[in-house]
Amino acid sequence: FYILDDYTPLRTVKPETLQQESALFAVKDALLYIQGRPLGGGGKASQGEALYLAENAPFGATFTYYLKEELKTKKKLRQEAEKEAEKKKTQAPYPTFDQLREETDEPAPAIMLTIQDESGRVVRRLNGANSAGMNRVTWNLRSPGTVLSPAAPEEGDDDDGGPDGPLVLPGTYKVSLAKRVSDVWSQLAGPQTFTVKALGVESMA
């Protein structure tokens, strides 16, 4: 049995989509509200492990994207070519000193999602997973904080885009997907337009 909270991208994906380098799927409307803490804190707070609680769906706008292949560094590509040559019983070319230096200086590949408002102003940038297949990133509907971000995380660590600022205003936004390979940024997919809606406004008088 498989229980999924939102499998809309799987219903809309087509065979030709999986042959593309990447794809960014449609985004559901995001509900804007202040999250409650009925137990006095995050998670179970002081209720103890005997109290069963399941996690709610992530708060904010969830972006689903597809990568056909993992982005690879020059070093990883060379190592894969060497392994393939070994399987075929052939001699792989030995890298030159300059090639080894380039591999050492090359930054790790990166995936980034950029969120803009209706005027085109960048509201937030989020790091995404560099993994083949379906990936998801959730934006907590907050703008960047006013303090400096901590040091960049190691490859594989989670990163939500830095310190949080205030919640954004309701409205129309768009998100696009980009990649960084060999320190060069290029557009992958998007933009996809979505709406941030304030919850409970109808009851305010």
Query: Does residue 158 have a pLDDT over 90?
Result: no
Q: Where are the alpha helices (DSSP H) in the chain?
A: 8-12, 74-87, 97-105
Give the count of beta carbons closer than 10 Å to the beta carbon of residue 147: 9
The angle that helices 97-105 and 74-87 make with each other, rounded to 10 degrees, is 130
Which residues are CB-contacts of 17 (< 8 A; sequence separation ≥ 6)?
23, 66
Residue 73 burial by Cβ neighbours in a 10 Å radius (0-12, 13-18, 19+): middle
Q: What are phi and psi of 16, to 5 degrees?
A: -70, -25
* pLDDT the model gives residue 116: 94
Tokens 């994207």 belong to 65
Percentage above 70 pLDDT, the chain: 88
Tokens 């703008």 belong to 143
AA letter at 62: T
Query: Does residue 155 have a pLDDT over 60?
Result: no
The better pLDDT of the pair 159, 144 is held by 144
* pLDDT the model gives residue 102: 81
pTM assigned to the model: 0.78
* pLDDT the model gives residue 159: 45
Bridge partners, 174 (sequence order) = 116, 193
The better pLDDT of the pair 161, 19 is held by 19
* pLDDT the model gives residue 64: 93
Q: Shortest CA distance to 43 belongs to which of 194, 135, 35?
A: 35
Which residues are CB-contacts of 60 (< 8 A; sequence separation ≥ 6)?
30, 138, 139, 140, 141
* pLDDT the model gives residue 61: 93
Q: What is the pLDDT of residues 125-140, one digit of tens each?
A: 999 999 999 999 999 9
Is residue 176 within 8 Å of 114, Cβ to Cβ? yes
Mean pLDDT of 28-41: 81
AA letter at 189: A
Pairing assessment for the beta strands 184-198 and 30-32 based on DSSP bridges: parallel
